[in-house]
Structures are given as structure tokens and as C-alpha cells.
Structure 1
Amino acid sequence: MLTYSLEPIFSYHLQLDPPEILGPVPDGFRANAYVKSGTITGEKLHGILRSGGGDWFTIRPDGVAITDVRGTIETQDGALIYLTYTGVMDLGEDGYQNFLNGHFPPTAKIHTTPRLQTAHPTYQWLNRVQCVGVAVLDFATFEGDFEVYALR
């Protein structure tokens, strides 16, 4: 068996706008959620998640949402870091039908695979890292708490 470890890189709290509902499409139920604001904290990374990014997600008929996220982190020292990830958000077996009817679950767990890219010399190490993330999204407030780890 291979040996690996998880190294905490950063956590973030974000506030989303309510989802923009596109509705049923050939791949499932499509909705977009845009970032209002976010705060990045961690031993190796501090800053904000800039507004304008978002999650362009599709809910499959089995109630699993496939996330497609892009955004920009601005560190406290002014570096810009591109954040992108896909992931799985389990909305429950009735998640698809509930979204069709305009009903959201109270919360949802999300598992992600973030990648980061930057030109800033201080953060070049991020270009070589594959991360994994875990999160909980609160649909009542459209706020989420995320933890991101480097896979070592």
C-alpha cells in the first residue's frame, strides 16, 4: 500500500448569492452559485476569496451534485492565486426532485479536489500540489466552510 499524508493548507468561509437556477438540461439539473465574499485562513495562506468566482454545478437524477468551481484568492501580501476544483455534493436521494420543486436541504457535505496556480514567487509551491477538500454548505444562509489539504 502507498504511503501518503494530508497537510493542512488553508480553510475558508464563503458567502454565496442564492443559486441562479437554469433548470433541467440534458446532463441533469443546472444551477450556478456566485461568490459574494470569502475569508482564507491558514498557516500557509491568508487572504480573501474575491467576488466573481462561483460554482457551476449540475445535479444528477440520483441527487448528487457535481461541482465545477473557479475563483481567485487574493493573499494578504497581494498575490493572486487561481483556485479551481470539481467535487461531489450529496443532496440526498430526493435532491434532484427537491431542486426541481425549489426546495434545498438544510446542509450538504462536499468533497473536492482543488488545484491552485499562481505566478507569485512566494507561492510557486502551490503549482506543484494536488489538494483534497471537505466542506459543509448551509442552504439557509448560503454560507460554506471548507478545509483544504495538500496530498503528500
Structure 2
Amino acid sequence: MTADPRVKDVGEIRTEHLFDMVVDLNPRLPFGSGPFGRRVLFGAAGGTFDGPGLHGDVLPGGGDWALFDPDGTMALDVRLTLRTHDGALLHMTYGGRWVTPPEVREALANPDERLRIDPADYYFRTNPLFETGAEPYAWLNGTVCVGSGYLVEGGIAYKVCRVL
């Protein structure tokens, strides 16, 4: 098969570090198994984000309305409110996937072992988007990001990069 002549080389996709974020979590709220899978709410209790030129707090009240497939894959549906160091509010949303191979599922379910698992042993990626009316951060409204997640004591953490 020959390549479609309309396909163009658009160059490499480049990213730059936006911030690291830690989200403290409330105890999970299981909705049970429904028509689309097993739904669980991981409510945000607070947290922080910090990066070059962008830092502040994760406000309580958001969370991840996660959906688990029968194979253990988690589809993320996250909504968070961030408050920058200078008081601006950022609405952050993201989907993503957390795919855990069968050989690490038992350890992830064990509170004594889960933090010892190398994040390279699972696939946890997100696609953050932002919305704000704060003029100094309006550039975020047109920015697409990618993130990589991992477990931390009391919650979850992410390295978030903006796509250039």
C-alpha cells in the first residue's frame, strides 16, 4: 500500500515541563458495577502543584470519577480546581488511562506494597486541559498537555507537560 499523498511531515511532537502535582485523596467511594463498568470516585482532599512559573494549591472538592474495565484498566474522568500562588482559579480536566499488567495488580491492591511498585511497571497517562478567566493564565485556555501519573503516600502525583 502506498502512503496517502495528503500526509505531511509536521515534525516531532515536543513538550516542556509545566508542573508536578500531588493530589491528596479522600477515601474512595465505590458506586459498584453498572452498565459501563465499575465506577469509583476518588475525591480530591487538596494538594499542591509546582513548576517553572506556575504553582499553587489543588482545592478540595474535585476528583476522579474513574471507570474500571473488567480487565482492570481504569478510564479517568478528572475535574480539579487549582488556585495559583497569586489567587487565580484554574479549572483542570483530564481523561486518561491507567493500565496495570496482571502481574502487578495484586501488589497495587495491597496498601503495604503499592507504593513500592515502580511506575514504569504500569501505564498511567493523562491529557490535561485548562479553563480560566484570569488574564495572566489565559494562555492555558489554548494549551494541550500530557501527564504521567504515579502513586504517592495519601494520593496520586503527576508530571504534567505542555505540548508545544
Q: CA RMSD in A?
A: 2.0
Q: Which has the higher strand share?
A: 1
Is 1:69 matched up with 2:74? no
Is 1:124 matched up with 2:129? no
> % of aligned pairs identical?
32
TM-aligned CA deviation for residue 82 of structure 1 = 0.4
Instruction: Tell me which of 147, 153, 162 is aligned to 1:133.
Output: 147
- Distance in 1, matches of 2:141 and 2:16, equals 15
Which stretch shifts more, 69-78 or 14-23?
A: 14-23
TM-aligned CA deviation for residue 33 of structure 1 = 0.6
Gaps of 5+ in 1: none
Gaps of 5+ in 2: 1-8, 116-121
Q: Report how many aligned residue pairs link the two structures.
A: 145
Larger radius of gyration between Structure 1 and Structure 2 = 2
SS at match of 1:57: strand
Superposed CA deviations along residues 122-144 of structure 1, whole A, max 9, x for unmatched, are: 00110111000001024xx4421
Instruction: Tell me which of 10, 17, 21 is aligned to 1:8.
Output: 17
Q: How does 1:51-62 map to 2 (within 5 A)?
A: 51-62=60-71
Is 1:19 matched up with 2:33? no
Instruction: Tell me which of 64, 72, 91 is aligned to 1:82.
Output: 91
Other-structure match for 2:119: none
Superposed CA deviations along residues 35-90 of structure 1, whole A, max 9, x for unmatched, are: 11111101021100000000000000111000000011000100000000000012
Other-structure match for 2:109: 104
- Distance in 1, matches of 2:56 and 2:141, equals 18
SS at match of 2:98: strand
SS at match of 2:54: coil
Please list every run of at least 4 consecutive aligned residues from structure 1 whose deviation after the TM superposition is greater than 3 angstroms.
91-96
Q: Which has the higher helix share?
A: 2
- Distance in 1, matches of 2:99 and 2:126, equals 12
Instruction: Tell me which of 145, 149, 161 is aligned to 1:149.
Output: 161
